[in-house]
Amino acid sequence: MKTTTRVAKVSAATCTAFTLLLTSCIYNRQSAIDPAGPQSGRIDTLWWSFFWLLGAIFLIVMVLTAMTLTRQHRGFEQEPLEALHKASEKTEARLRSVITGATIVSIVILFVLIVASTVTGKANSELQNKKNPLTIQVTGTQWWWQIEYKMGDPTRSLVTANEIHIPVGRPIQIRGASNDVIHSFWVPNLNGKRDLIPSRITTEWLEADHPGAYRGQCAEFCGLQHAHMALWVIAEPEDKFNAWLEAQLQPAASPRTPEEIKGEQVFMNHACIYCHAIEGTPAAGQSGPDLTHFGSRRGIAANTLPNTMGNLAGWILDPQTIKPGNHMATIEVSSGDLQPLLEYLESLK
C-alpha cells in the first residue's frame, strides 16, 4: 500500500516537471520547437517524434518496473528456482522469447530513428539548391556579431552588427567566420547551429516562413561574456526588406540639431573612432561594431540591453559593469559632452 502511494507521488511529480518543461519551451520565443522556417519545421517534427516514441518506451518500462516491484508473491505453486539452480524448460523458453522480442523491437526502433534523422538532414540540405539565395557573412568576435551583406557590387556592400534582416521565403546562405576563438551561430527558431571557426569559412542555410523577430545566440563557449552574445534575425516581406537595405546602404544621417552636431564632435575627438566606424564621417575604426545606423538597431552590447538612451549612457560610461571583461574601452566623457553624444548616436537611424 505504502509503495503504491510513493509510486503515485513520484509519477505525479514527474508529470508536473515534464509539463512545466514543455510549456516553458513552447511559450519561449527562442526555441527550436517553435519553428518559423521549413528547416526548423522538420527539426521540430523530428524532435516531437523522438519525444513521443521514446516517451512511450520510457512509460512502458516504468509501468513494467512498477508492476514488478509491487507484484504479490504467487504462493507455493511457484517453481523453487534457487534450489534447482536451473530454470525449467517453460521459464527458459519464455525468457528466450522475451529477450529476442525486445532485441528485435530495439533494433527496429533505432533503425527508424536513424532513417528519420538522415531524411531530415538530407531534406534540410536541399535548401542550397533553391534559386535566388541571399548571402550574409556572419563573423563572430568576442563578444558580438559582425554582419556583412555581400551583394556582388562593392558599392552595395553593407556592414552592420548584431542584427540580421532577411526577406521571408528566400533562402539565406550564412557564411560563418571568426576573428578570435570558435563561436557558434544558432537561431533556434530557424536553423542551426553551425560553428564559426577562425581562418575558415563554414556555411549554414536558413529560410523564414513568416515575418517575425527571432533571437539567436552564441552556442559555443567563447570566453567571459559568451552568455551576452546575442543577435536578432528579423524576417520581413521582400519589399520591407528592400526598403531596410536601401536605408542601411546610405551613409550616416548628418546631425541636425545643435546638440547632435556637438555630439558628433565629441565622438570624433574621443577614442571612439579608433574602434568604431560611421560611414560618411572620418570615423573608420574596424575593431568594434559599425555604428553607421546604430539608432535603428534593437539592442546595444550585442543585445545585452535594449537600445535606449539611458542604457547607452550606462554602457559608454561604465561598460565593464554591464559586461565585465568586454573590449569596449572605459573612456572619460565629461558630463557636458555625454548628452550630446547620446543624442548624436541615437539619431543615426
Partner 1 sequence: MKLTTVRNASGLAICFVVIACQRQHQDIRPSPTQLAIYGDAAKEDALRPGGPVSPQPTVNNPYNASAYDISEGQRLYNWYNCSGCHANGGGGIGPPLIKQHWIYGGEPANIFDTIVKGRPNGMPAWGGRIPEYQVWEIVAYIRSMNGEQPRSATASRADMIQPSPQTLVNRTNDQTK
Site of interaction with partner 1 (CB under 8 A): 270-271, 274-275, 287, 318, 320-321, 324-325, 327, 329-332
Secondary structure (DSSP) of 293-327: TGGGSSEETTTTEE--HHHHHHHHH-HHHHSTT-S
Q: Which is nearer to partner 1, 270 or 298 (CB)?
A: 270
Task: Please answer whether residues 252 and 241 qualify as being in contact, where contact means their C-beta atoms are separated by less than 8 angstroms.
Answer: no
Distance, CA of 349 to CA of 345 (rounded, Å): 9
Q: Which is nearer to partner 1, 136 or 161 (CB)?
A: 161
- For residue 271, the minimal CB distance to partner 1 (Å) is 5
Distance, CA of 118 to CA of 120 (rounded, Å): 5
- For residue 140, the minimal CB distance to partner 1 (Å) is 16
Q: Which is nearer to partner 1, 146 or 347 (CB)?
A: 146
Side-chain-side CA neighbours of 300 within 13 Å: the count stands at 22
Q: Which three cell numbers stand for residue 163?
A: 542584427
Quick one: which H or E segment has residue 217?
strand 212-218
- For residue 221, the minimal CB distance to partner 1 (Å) is 18
- For residue 320, the minimal CB distance to partner 1 (Å) is 5
Q: Which is nearer to partner 1, 170 or 327 (CB)?
A: 327
Distance, CA of 184 to CA of 187 (rounded, Å): 10
- For residue 338, the minimal CB distance to partner 1 (Å) is 13
Read off φ and ψ for residue 145, nearest 5 degrees. Answer: -115, 130
Q: Give every CB contact of residue 254 below 8 A, 6+ residues apart in sequence.
A: 280
Q: Which is nearer to partner 1, 21 or 329 (CB)?
A: 329
Q: Which is nearer to partner 1, 124 or 178 (CB)?
A: 178
- For residue 269, the minimal CB distance to partner 1 (Å) is 8
